[in-house]
Amino acid sequence: MPAISLSPPARFLLRGSVLLAALLTLWWLVLINPLQSLLQAAAATGGAWLFSGSSELTITDAANGDWAFEVPIEPVVPPTPPGAAPQQIYSIGFDLARADAGGFTFGLPVFWALMLAAPELRRNWRSLITGTFVMALLEVVLLLLTVKILAYKSLAQVLHSHDPVGGWFLRCGEYLAVNAIPYLLPFAVAIVLHRELREQMFQWAAPIAASAPPAQNGNRVAGRGSQRRIAVKRN
């Protein structure tokens, strides 16, 4: 029986699929809780440079397992009825579902699978280690940016803001930071750090593009969330 010969792209996809399934299983069963604890500690430490105010960013575990954030903000005076004493807001709190927080660690096993499936691993093990630290740092930054976006969204709800442009930017930023960038990030980091993978991907794409049939005119392709508690501290 003749041996089956696979092309380099097919071998890469086969290895990557097997490694991705194995590493995601390992992540879900073993690694997700330790990675979330490290992410929580790193975000609490790194929040000092992102948030200003007299207090610091605090992250605690809610009773249902979600993450409870207390975000310091610049003193804000909300609109008050005539005759009422003005009140200043110094911090705002909200909950982030634990499943949403886990999405910020999802990219690590995907990145590991890509790097382990890529060619010339022995020459690129330093890229694997470097990329792991880069991925961890970028995921912390993404979480902090998400927290800031959610803090502004919660503040807008408290102040009953009706700014459509600002609201659109906040919704778009939340979608990108929570539902898009964390899942695209491992591919981008792997392509940047692994030269052989980058070169071979472009070589694989060239014959595919050359053999692709011309697109027909008129064809069109048409193209998550959690409830959050909002708490406000006033003077």
- Mean pLDDT within 104-110: 95
Any domain includes 188: yes
DSSP letters, the chain, are -PPP---HHHHHHHHHHHHHHHHHHHIIIIIHHHHHHHHHHHHHHHHHHH--SSS--EEEE-TTSPEEEEEEEEEE-----TTSPP--EEEEEEEE-HHHHHTTTTHHHHHHHHHHHSS-TTT-HHHHHHHHHHHHHHHHHHHHHHHHHHHHHHHHHHTT---HHHHHHHHHHHHIIIIIHHHHHHHHHHHHH-HHHHHHHHHHHHHHHHHSPPPPTT-----------EEEEE-
Q: Which of 18-22, 63-67, 82-86, 219-223 has the highest mean pLDDT?
A: 18-22
Q: Is the pLDDT of residue 176 over 90?
A: yes
Any domain includes 221: no
Q: Is the pLDDT of residue 197 over 70?
A: yes
pTM: 0.78
Any domain includes 42: yes
Any domain includes 125: yes
**Which of 53-57, 73-77, 141-145 is predicted with the least confidence, judged by mean pLDDT?**
53-57
Any domain includes 117: yes
Any domain includes 186: yes
What domain range is 127 assigned to?
A: 8-50+97-209
Q: What is the pLDDT of residues 202-235, one digit of tens each?
A: 776 555 555 556 555 544 434 444 445 556 555 5
Q: What is the rounded average pLDDT for all residues in the chain? A: 82
pLDDT at 190: 92
- Mean pLDDT within 131-144: 95
Any domain includes 202: yes
Any domain includes 162: yes
- Mean pLDDT within 181-204: 86
Domain count, the chain: 1
